[in-house]
Amino acid sequence: MHADTILHARWIIPVGPSSRSHRLSMTDAPSGYGPRDHPHGLVLEDHSLVMADGLIAAILPTAEARELVRSTGARSIELPDHALLPGFVNAHTHVAMNLMRGVADDLPLMRWLRDHIWPLEGRFLADDFVHDGSLLACAELIRGGVTCFNDMYFFPEATLRAAEAAGLRASVGLPVIDFPTPWGSGPDEYISKGLALRDEWHGHPRMSFMLAPHAPYTVGDEPLQRIRVLADQLGIGVHMHVHETAHEVMEAERLTGERPLARLDRLGLLNEQFLAVHMTQLNDDEMALLRDRGVHIAHCPESNLKLASGIAPIARLKALGVNVAIGTDGAASNNDLDLLGETRTAALLAKGVSGDASAVPAAEALYMATLGGARALGLDERIGSLEVGKAADVIAIDLNQIETQPLFDPIAQIIYAASRQQVTHSWVAGQMLMNERRLLTVYEDDLLANAESWRARLVTPST
């Protein structure tokens, strides 16, 4: 067997496949319930993960792996206090908005957008702003264990350059909106620029694309019909904010008599390639429709709470079989890109809102943060779980810290107690991006200085 690097870990949590055939003995635990009983709750103890040519070549007991080190001369990394798991997938971001983190808080969505975000974007939205904000966000994502993010913003070429430089995997939205911005005059130009960008990057091993119409209230029927045709022809997904607030749904009903989701279905957009972000407002028929169409949900609980938009009924959607991924949304409305923390919030909130403490158990939450996210982006053949043949998108979490000891169950400890600062290592397609918390592809000091210089520009009064 060929091997580049072999990671010897205390625990390996593969997440997929959803089979229990590989169940090995786990840390003894009291008679209680635990993630071990869940289809995604497999935990391998004292196993090693073998990387070769950017892929996962094997997962095997560490005793066997040490033989392999000797025979192949592979690099060996000891992770005696760590769990290895698939890198987190952040299913909804606006990474450039890291430059506007905390610029306006404690406001509802429309006032926040109209009075603060849109005016600042009007003044500063340009290639350099998007590149610098995206690179700052990439550093935050890597430090938090995210290995793939799904973005929606203008100047996506700048986000692509940042993700490429940082070594992250990205699903980049090709934005479409009915009004002009510094990036384009309207839907025609947005679509043509987006497709040209996709052509330019086609075949890149870490970059993929989704069409990204902003929201039902900002994109008309004609562009949406073109988007549907393009998505079918090109076989790519569609990423869109839908039913973020009650106001959005009520206004659509008042003006057109039709709820936004019904309109999207009439236009043929709802299918297994459609990723609906937020979805805080859903009646029973709509939940059944989502299930029937195979639509994926990007759940952004902290942004939804902070903007008082509502709470997506995740426990019910999961029970129906709808695939739910987790997104942080942009740093201006969250205010972080902490996918692990977001997943914890999602799990807690699902229990609290459904009134069922067993809703979204820890292993299910971990699935949403990894393989569920990969499915939502159409990338589950390549990433989202630790399986032989998949890309080596892997993170290590050190669980031997005051905050996570004693340890009865690694999955419960990761979801309910660990923080993203316990992520120590990260690899994407076999490339190490972080080693013992040190970033290897970006320079933190430069990023901090650059963030401060953007702050000074943003607070300068407009003239």
- Enumerate residues 57-76 that contact a copy of itself by CB under 8 A: none
- The stretch near a copy of itself (CB under 8 A) out of 27-35, 177-185, 228-236, 369-377 is 27-35
State the nearest-atom distance from the C-beta of 144 to a copy of itself, in Å: 8
How far is 204 from 202, CA to CA, in rounded Å? Answer: 6
Using CB under 8 A, which of 21, 32, 199, 233 touches a copy of itself?
A: 32
- Residues in contact with a copy of itself, total (CB under 8 A)? 82
Give the residue ranges of DSSP H helices in 113-220: 118-124, 127-143, 156-166, 187-201
Kindly tell me which of 156 and 310 has the beta carbon lying closer to a copy of itself.
310
State the nearest-atom distance from the C-beta of 407 to a copy of itself, in Å: 7
How far is 18 from 244, CA to CA, in rounded Å? Answer: 31
Strand partners, 75: 5
The SS3 call for residue 403 is: helix
Interface of this chain with a copy of itself, residues 173 to 192, rule: CB under 8 A? none
Interface of this chain with a copy of itself, residues 145 to 164, rule: CB under 8 A? none
Give the residue from 62, 57, 64 showing the smallest Cα distance to 4: 57
Cβ(106)–Cβ(147) under 8 Å?
A: no
State the nearest-atom distance from the C-beta of 204 to a copy of itself, in Å: 25
What is the chain's alpha carbon radius of gyration, rounded to the nearest angstrom? 22
Kindly tell me which of 125 and 458 has the beta carbon lying closer to a copy of itself.
458
Cβ(8)–Cβ(81) under 8 Å?
A: no
Give the residue ranges of DSSP H helices in 37-126: 62-72, 109-112, 118-124
The SS3 call for residue 187 is: helix
Kindly tell me which of 309 and 323 has the beta carbon lying closer to a copy of itself.
309
Kindly tell me which of 191 and 312 has the beta carbon lying closer to a copy of itself.
312
Burial 331-342 (b: 16+ CB within 10 A, else e): bbbbbbbbbbbb
Kindly tell me which of 60 and 307 has the beta carbon lying closer to a copy of itself.
307
Kindly tell me which of 104 and 320 has the beta carbon lying closer to a copy of itself.
104
> Residue 112 interacts with a copy of itself (CB under 8 A)?
yes
Q: State the DSSP code for 461.
A: P
Kindly tell me which of 327 and 378 has the beta carbon lying closer to a copy of itself.
327
Give the residue from 346, 368, 316 showing the smallest Cα distance to 90: 368
Per-residue mark of binding to a copy of itself, 235-274 (x: CB under 8 A): ----------------------------------------
Q: Determine what percent of the chain falls in helix, strand and coil, rounding each to the nearest 5.
A: 40, 20, 35
State the nearest-atom distance from the C-beta of 129 to a copy of itself, in Å: 12
Give the residue from 405, 318, 419 showing the smallest Cα distance to 361: 318
State the nearest-atom distance from the C-beta of 29 to a copy of itself, in Å: 6
Interface of this chain with a copy of itself, residues 289 to 318, rule: CB under 8 A? 302, 304-311
Kindly tell me which of 219 and 347 has the beta carbon lying closer to a copy of itself.
347
CB atoms under 10 Å from CB of 406, counted, come to: 5
Name the helix (H) or strand (E) containing 415.
helix 410-416
- Write the CB contacts of 422 (distance below 8 Å, at least 6 apart in sequence): 397, 398, 399, 401, 403, 404
Interface of this chain with a copy of itself, residues 383 to 442, rule: CB under 8 A? 400-409, 412-413, 416-417, 419-421
Using CB under 8 A, which of 71, 106, 255, 436 touches a copy of itself?
A: 106
Interface of this chain with a copy of itself, residues 350 to 369, rule: CB under 8 A? 351-352, 354-359, 361-362
How far is 200 from 163, CA to CA, in rounded Å? Answer: 15
Using CB under 8 A, which of 232, 285, 444, 446 touches a copy of itself?
A: 444
- By DSSP bridging, strand 146-151 and strand 88-93 are parallel
Using CB under 8 A, which of 90, 343, 345, 370 touches a copy of itself?
A: 345
Kindly tell me which of 394 and 399 has the beta carbon lying closer to a copy of itself.
399
CB atoms under 10 Å from CB of 73, counted, come to: 10
Kindly tell me which of 71 and 459 has the beta carbon lying closer to a copy of itself.
459
State the nearest-atom distance from the C-beta of 421 to a copy of itself, in Å: 4
The CA-atom distances, in angstroms, between 395 and each of 12, 79, 86, 105 are 10, 11, 6, 32
Kindly tell me which of 213 and 327 has the beta carbon lying closer to a copy of itself.
327
State the nearest-atom distance from the C-beta of 347 to a copy of itself, in Å: 8
State the nearest-atom distance from the C-beta of 448 to a copy of itself, in Å: 5
How far is 184 from 188, CA to CA, in rounded Å? Answer: 9
Kindly tell me which of 44 and 360 has the beta carbon lying closer to a copy of itself.
360
Cα end-to-end distance, the chain, whole Å: 65
Interface of this chain with a copy of itself, residues 113 to 132, rule: CB under 8 A? 115-116, 120
State the nearest-atom distance from the C-beta of 200 to a copy of itself, in Å: 29
